[in-house]
Amino acid sequence: MTSNPTTSLAQAVAALDAVWAGASRGGESDAQSAVTSMTDAGILAVNEALAAVRRQVDALHVRVAAGIADRSRPELGSESLARKTGHRTPARLIAATTGGHAGDAARLIQVGEATAERALFSGERAPSRHPHVQAAVASGAISVPAAAAIAAMLDKLAMRVERAVLADAEQTLVSQAALLSLDELGALLQRAQAHLDPDGLEPVIEDLHARRSLKVREDRDGMIHLNGVLDPETGAPLIAAVDALVTRSLRTNRGHNRLGEAAAGSDAVAGGASVDGAERTSGDLGKADSVDAGAPGRRGAAMDAAASVQIAPSVLDDDLLEEFGRPVAEETRTLPQLRADALAALCRHALGCDRSGSTLANTTVIVRVPLEALTTGTGVAEIDGVSQPIDAGTARRMCANAEIIPLVLGADSEILDFGKARRPFSRAQRLALEERDGGCVFCGLPGSYAEAHHVEWWSRGGPTDLTNGVLLCTACHHRIHNDGWEIRIETPPGAHATAGVVWFIPPPHIDPARTPRIGGRARFDWVQAA
């Protein structure tokens, strides 16, 4: 710990100055000219240095914010510092100074108070309630919003979970938060809370189910408005079915796939495709900026069993695929429009369909639940594509209602490695890759938008094995190959391939040091403390 609280900030500013000087050509008269002259690697380095400075500024600001709040306690009345300066609350005082929102100022106060040392009745000083969060904020490892989210979740469980367990969880969350965006951290905290307090999950799911609704109205222009709020159990089949049709349309109409190929079981089938480098070129999957990433990853701790729920086979037959997958001259629909058309197509088909059987058998809702939880009905389960965990009882009900068959990955009846015997990845391999990767291993898009991809191209001798496969959306697939990223898969000795970790090695023009970046579910998985 440095003696001067501003030393770390001064060091971060000095580092920024050095990085800026190295990234710009020198002699520029303004910041815009300097930025324009920077290489890609240079501007990325400056961005990281600026983020480090911001975190150090916030680390000091939380201390000051907590001090202002302490001097503005309600019991001080007219002597409150906030009131003396003409503000009703300390948050409004700080917001008036920063020019930001009162909510942002309140977050500074929250983190400052949660990480401050405490005064005991004896007059002695005690450590902060969240020492790991405090250390991470002070060092600039995590942002203030991340610290606030972690502290709030831990405080919510303080009366229900043992202190030692929460302390271990805090340390784990802080280490993971340093690698995550705030959205990714939110998904992680949902899973962590469910696993730390599984008894509290069932009433949460029951409350969500009770709040489900769908309202329909027609406005004066003749437009039909749907306002739906669905709980995970109710919404999961809708997401799976709509996304399956949207993905099929994007791959068919914006790429080089054709319905005949997909229906015949080619690599182009949504949810079970295989694509190798330049061996097959397909259009960008709606482009990265037009596909909703949602809550990335959407995975939980490693599961022993995966339950696969078939979506009403009669709803996804040849007629529906023909309607939504036929080639067109030019696909101009936006992603929201595609989803609206997919929902309408499903409803039209359901009204008039009297046949069974499906050519899209791999359109499923995957419920991942530990074998013990599936047997006992106690524990935590997850639905692929939905960030909110569910209790084991809900998972068992979904199994019963949909007549699902629990699938134990790696069982004798499922061959997960085919070597050179076949090129496309099998459905069993696909499930195993989703268990490991949690969707696109690079950007985190849900698995419905991802394809199974050979790391070492099949045409160049790469086997169709889990240790040579990753899930990538089309946009990331092309980005990795075009920009020269390398992929490495590390599996602990003796562990199953689904326990592997995927690493990406950036090209020199992105990162001269070529620092490996972890990918897939390993970035945001919640691993219960032993």
Give the residue-averaged pLDDT of 373-386. Answer: 79
Q: Please give the pLDDT value at position 302.
A: 41
Query: Which span out of 102-111, 336-345, 429-438 was modeled with the highest average pLDDT?
Result: 102-111
> With 70 as the cut, is the pLDDT of residue 429 above it?
yes
Higher pLDDT, 325 or 286: 325
Report CA 505 to chain centroid distance, whole Å. Answer: 20
The encoded tokens of residue 395 equal: 């998972």
Q: What is the mean pLDDT of the chain?
A: 77
Higher pLDDT, 262 or 374: 374
Q: Please give the pLDDT value at position 126.
A: 78
Higher pLDDT, 424 or 12: 12
Higher pLDDT, 346 or 58: 58
Q: Please give the pLDDT value at position 48.
A: 93
Is the alpha carbon torsion for 15, 18, 20, 22 positive or negative? Answer: negative
Confidence class for position 270, pLDDT limits 50, 70, 90: very low
> With 60 as the cut, is the pLDDT of residue 261 above it?
no
Q: Please give the pLDDT value at position 332.
A: 79
Neighbours of 462 (CB within 10 A): 17
Q: Return the amino acid letter for 232.
A: P
Report CA 275 to chain centroid distance, whole Å. Answer: 24
Domain residues of the chain, as ranges?
Answer: 7-178, 213-523
Percent of the chain scored above 90 by pLDDT? 31
The encoded tokens of residue 292 equal: 């909703």
Residues linked to residue 519 through DSSP beta bridges, in sequence order:
502
> With 70 as the cut, is the pLDDT of residue 419 above it?
no
> With 90 as the cut, is the pLDDT of residue 285 above it?
no
Q: Name, in order, each residue with C-beta under 8 angstroms of 519's C-beta and a sequence gap of 6 or more.
A: 437, 441, 442, 470, 502, 503, 504
> With 50 as the cut, is the pLDDT of residue 486 above it?
yes
pLDDT in tens, 109-149: 999 999 988 766 666 777 888 999 999 999 999 999 999 99
Neighbours of 429 (CB within 10 A): 24
Confidence class for position 5, pLDDT limits 50, 70, 90: confident
The model's pTM is 0.69
Report the alpha-carbon distance of residue 523 to residue 437 in Å, rounded.
10
